[in-house]
Structure 1
Amino acid sequence: MKALTVIIETPKGSTQKFDYEPDLKCFKLKKILPAGLAFPFDFGFITNTKGEDGDPLDVIVISEIKTFTGCCMDCRIIGSIKALQTERDGQSMRNDRFLAIPEVSTLFVNVKDIDDLPHGIIDELERFFENYNEQAGKKFEVLERLSSEDAYKLINL
């Protein structure tokens, strides 16, 4: 599977959420997370994609490194968390989270598929997004975990 370029919006460990604003061509602080909640890994989007919510597809970059807002890197997709997100107004839409490993990673060099990761990492990510959305008055429901092959099929580049 070919590597895809991702752009980091919110770095690993951050307690602030940033979003890229295409019209402004910059990153904007969207919100501050509640005490005790921080992004477990770098979070961003896959370039040249669009999800059901109209935004580029979300990606979590699992790595031993922490980058910075605006960092771009080539990553391999190892799977995804297929999810349904319900907004405060009750409207529901798919809002999957793709899982990626940077091509430069040395610690995760042998991780090629979601099943190669310790299950604790995926459990932690699912709980993070459930809590993160709950704090915003939304619901994040995990539908299933997808393999690398199935995740690439959803990307539709």
Structure 2
Amino acid sequence: MDNQTNNITVIVETPKGSGHKYEYSAETNQFKLKKLLPAGMVFPFDFGFIPNTIGGDGDPLDVLIISEVSTFPGCVIDCRLVGAFKVEQTSPEGTAYRNDRFLAVPVVSKFFSDLHDAAQLPHSLTDQIEAFFTNYSRLESKDFKLMERLGAEGAMELVEAGTIKQE
């Protein structure tokens, strides 16, 4: 991670337009089909994680990659962090925990080359992304409570807090 430019590396789990969710297994070093979404519901952009991080749910930090392209599970993308949704999720058992969602753009993007902060995104797009995560969580019988929308700087602070220190 590069603090000056908010650059991060993201590994894609589920591609844009996919009606099913993949999940990376560190134990087997493979991507596995995790679930099918209801008919008509698809991921609005590539969805993945930041390696060597851990979030409040015990998994690596989640990232939605806002891009003009769709890739594939396992694709490694150098991205620029532009923002985050600071989120509290509640499990079906009633346990509350943090499960933030980060927003990034590929460094090589042509269409989003001038996007450096989530505040530059159309408000309607961030509302749609929030609605996607709310509905997606509901499918797993989890509550999704948006605590705050953060820009690039606030998002990077959360990533740094979730980074696993390498010895």
- Give the shorter-chain TM-score range: over 0.9
Q: State the partner residue of 1:51.
A: 55
Q: State the partner residue of 1:25.
A: 29
Partners of 2:136 and 2:154 lie apart in 1 by 26
Partners of 1:5 and 1:35 lie apart in 2 by 31
1:125 to 126, 129, 138: 129
Deviation of 1:2 (Å): 3.8
1:137 to 141, 158, 167: 141
Q: State the partner residue of 2:80.
A: 76
Superposition TM-score, scaled by structure 2 size: 0.92
Partners of 2:137 and 2:154 lie apart in 1 by 25
Q: Is the 8 A contact 2:6 2:156 kept in 1?
A: no
Against the structure 1 CA distance between its residues 21 and 107, is the aligned structure 2 distance closer, same or farther, given a 3 Å change threshold?
same
| Identity value in percent | 52
**Structure 1: runs of 5+ lacking an equivalent:** none
**Structure 2: runs of 5+ lacking an equivalent:** none
Matched, 1:95 2:62: no
Deviations 1:31-72 (A, max 9, x none): 000112110000000111111111100000000000111100
Number of aligned residues: 157
Superposition TM-score, scaled by structure 1 size: 0.98
Deviation of 1:84 (Å): 0.7
Matched, 1:67 2:76: no
Q: Which stretches of structure 1, 4 residues or more, deviate above 3 A after TM superposition?
A: none
